[in-house]
């Protein structure tokens, strides 16, 4: 899997490279198949939404892909590790580091929750008259 931000960052073709912070992200899961790459895609989308650059290093079933360069490590504003396996973080000394499980990397940034709609506004106008249906005393509606 190639990360869309990978090519631009490495080749130096990102026009906003000097103004947008670089976030490094590592994704990994025990089997290294779907969750690793799903988290990578979601973190990339979240970074675009947040207006930051991201480089994702995946630790999948075929090994490590997209290993960070020394220049990227020097430039990084922060590191996000979304992994359910052990990841050596020694190379990130001095860089703000956030670690979480790979499932958190898969969830949308809002936590998967939709915003709640605003409660209905009550107007001072009287409610429209509704016709009540009358039922006979023997109907099921009156039995409890």
Q: What are the catalytic residues? A: 29
Count the alpha carbons within 13 Å of 144 in the hemisphere toward its beta carbon.
Answer: 1
Both tokens of 48, joined, read: 């675009």
> Which pair of tokens denotes residue 56?
């994702």
- The angle subtended at Cα 59 by Cα 49 and Cα 35, nearest 5°, is 60
Q: Is 62 helix (H, G, I), strand (E, B) or coil?
A: coil
């Amino acid at each position: 899997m190639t990360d869309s931000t990978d090519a631009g960052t490495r080749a130096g073709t990102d026009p906003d490279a000097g103004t947008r912070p670089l976030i490094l992200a590592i994704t990994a899961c025990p089997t290294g198949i779907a969750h690793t790459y799903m988290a990578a895609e979601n973190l990339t989308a979240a970074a675009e939404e947040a207006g930051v650059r991201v480089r994702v290093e995946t630790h999948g079933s075929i090994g490590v892909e997209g290993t960070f360069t020394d220049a990227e490590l020097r430039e990084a504003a922060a590191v996000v590790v979304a992994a359910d396996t052990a990841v050596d973080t020694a190379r990130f000394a001095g860089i703000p580091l956030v670690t979480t499980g790979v499932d958190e990397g898969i969830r949308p940034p809002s936590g998967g929750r939709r915003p709640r709609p605003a409660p209905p506004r009550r107007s001072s106008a009287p409610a429209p008259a509704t016709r009540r249906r009358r039922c006979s005393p023997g109907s099921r509606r009156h039995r409890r």
